[in-house]
Amino acid sequence: MFNVRSILYLALMFMCLRLMPVVSAAEDIPAKELYFGSVAMVSPAVMHRRLLPLTKYLSESLQRPVMLKLSFDMPTAINEIAEGTVQLSYLTPVAYVRAKSNGDVRLIAKATTREGGFFQLMVVARQEGSIHGIHDLAGKRFAFGDKAAVLQRAVVIGAGMPLERLGSYVFLGDLENIANGVMNGDFDAGILKDTIARKWEEKGLRVLHVSSALPSFNIAASPDMDPALFEQVRDALLRLDVSNPEHAKILQALDEQYTGFVPVKDQEYDVVRKLIKSLEKG
């Protein structure tokens, strides 16, 4: 039999238990990490350094880990975002078009500079060399980036230099390797993204040809991303503003010319689809 003291003790314990805060199982489980992919357009170490500030910012904004997962070539990067192996990816225009076709990935935002949300490809050669125009490339050694970056070949062909008229051409992958190779005389010419070409102009490269405006690099989401999370990521990207010193560090780590991210529509990449189609027909 319980005595009075035991009954009072049990009643007190019951009341304490009722007053304790209840923590749900969901609150105990940390938010699942997101994987952020990209092709290593420059060396993996450099690309990691460029993207790390952005992934840290997204981790803080989303209150969940955002982990980098770089790919060594464009087909792998395309497959990973199309299949949902990564949930976010920083993509070239061609990579986005391919990923959209393969897995219906969704554009979140595109990068912008002071000139707007577009970029150009530039054919370059050494300032001290004898190459002054596209016509001088006949019989010369040319360096491209990733073999899957078909826009680069389309630009060279569109400028009036069929690939068969080049002496030889190679695919180096890393755009900085192209610049170094041309500067060191390993190649007579190559093709670079505008921001890299401008930097190397100061080091001795000459711009021979500039492409028309192309929609800029973008950040895309995997097909199965939750709509609410999609909106959170987009809001975080659109908040980035180069006039904010902390944001400037994030943006300029990715590209010295970037000033932020802006909304984007799939139709903007139709010009890329046309270039790809014309190259494939050729």
* 55-111 pLDDT, tens digit each: 999 999 999 999 999 998 889 999 999 999 999 999 999 899 999 999 989 999 999
Are 33 and 64 in contact by the 8 Å Cβ rule? The answer is yes
Q: How far apart are CA 123 and CA 191, in angstroms?
A: 4
Query: What span, in angstroms and rounded, lies between the C-alpha atoms of 170 and 176?
Result: 14
Spell out the domains of the chain, with CATH numbers in brackets: 30-117+215-271 (3.40.190.10), 121-211 (3.40.190.10)
The yes-or-no verdict on residue 23 having pLDDT over 50 is no
| Model confidence band, residue 279 (pLDDT cutoffs 50, 70, 90) | confident
- Rounded alpha-carbon distances, angstroms, from residue 91 to 37, 153, 203, 265: 9, 18, 28, 15
Q: Residue 22: pLDDT above 50?
A: no
If one counts every other C-beta atom within 10 angstroms of the C-beta of residue 63, the result is 9
Q: Please give the pLDDT value at position 61.
A: 97
Q: Summarize pLDDT for 218-252 with one digit per residue, the tens.
A: 999 999 999 999 999 999 999 999 999 999 999 99
Q: Which residue has the tokens 């569109």?
A: 158
Record the pTM. Answer: 0.74
Under the banding of pLDDT at 50, 70 and 90, the label for residue 16 is: very low
